[in-house]
Structure formats: structure tokens, C-alpha cells
Amino acid sequence: MNKTTVTIPISQSGNYIVSFPNRCVYCGQPSETTIEVTPTYTEDKSTTMTINKTTYRFPLSIPYCAKHARESSRNKSILYGVFFLCLLPTIFLTWRMEPSSFGQALIVFLFYCLVAFPIGILMQWLVRKILSYAFPSLSDTGIVIPGVIGGSDSALGISPSIRITSDTLGRVGLDSNITISFTNDEVARECASLSGGTYKVPQK
């Protein structure tokens, strides 16, 4: 399904305003509850001599009707489960390597995790396609990646992403923003209006 995107600016102090209408972001019915989604962005300015990473977190409260809140939680549980199942073999493979020290075991484990990472993303995509016949809304839930690894968070009918740039003083750049993809065009337009953002309708 094509999605409408809403782009909301982030100020140089790191502040932002994301306001949703008081209705479910998926079906548009009156909101009954909210689900917390926290997309993250890690800016890496490390050099060969120093490690310099800054992680930005942007919590969002997404409104849902009760039905779609349950579906969103179920869909994320399925996708997280698939991702971690793809990481489980890394423990077995590390043990089979019989590393001589903890440091060596950690290096081997991290190597296998790097290999398993794209497999986990691919398997989520495949599971969404296959299980969407039994759970139609699963195809409207974006890929999830744990925040400790990279931080791609989403929920039913909505998928936020972060873009952060820095100026010469190390402040958040003027073109930094939060971009949110919606499956519901009307809710997207209202969110853009309430948040002072811009929206872009997908080309048909």
C-alpha cells in the first residue's frame, strides 16, 4: 500500500512537536488508547583515535482504537520474534567455534550477529508477506529493529524515521526532521496540520 508521508522539523535545541488527531491512526475511528513508539537515530562522528557517538530518541504516543491497538502489539511481537529467532543460531555457532577467551568469544559472536542482522530483516519481510493472509494488518506494520542495534520502530499503519544533521557548533542542524509514513491519508493530513509539518501524497 502506498503511504502518505509527513515531515516535521526538529529545532536546533532538539525539540519537536508531533501532534496526532484524537482518532485511530489506522482506521480513523475515535481514539481509545495510545501506543508508545520510540524511533532512534545514532550519529557517528568517531575517528580512528576516538569514539564519538550520539543517540537521539524521539518518543511518540500513537492513538489507536482498542481493536487496532491489540493488532499493532500482536504484529510487533511477531516481527520481534522473527528477528530474535534469526539471532539465536549465533549463540550456537559461537559455542561450536570453542573460543579460547571471553574476548575472542565476543568477537566471534558479534561477527555472526552482523551476518544474522540482514537475514533477520529479510525474514521479517517474508513473514509479513506470508502471514498477511491470516493477519491482513501485518503488511501495514513496518520492519522493527531493536534500539540497542539500530533503532527502527514502527506500529500498525505508521512508520517513523529520523534524519539528524549537525552544524559546525555541534548543534542539531536546521534540516533535521522526523518523517512519518501513514497508511491513512486523512490522519496524515491532520497530523501535518497539527504539527506544523508538510505532507506528501504518494504518486499513483
Q: Please tell me the pTM assigned to this model.
A: 0.74
- Using a pLDDT cut of 70, give the percent of the chain over it: 73
pLDDT of residue 108: 65
Most confident of 47-51, 103-107, 110-114, 178-182: 178-182
Q: How far apart are CA 24 and CA 6, in angstroms?
A: 16
Most confident of 32-36, 43-47, 118-122: 32-36
Most confident of 99-103, 122-126, 171-175: 122-126
Residue-wise pLDDT for 123-172, tens only, equals 888 888 888 888 888 888 887 776 544 445 778 999 888 877 766 566 66
Q: How many CB atoms lie within 10 A of CB 68?
A: 25
Q: How far apart are CA 52 and CA 100, in angstroms?
A: 31
pLDDT of residue 51: 63
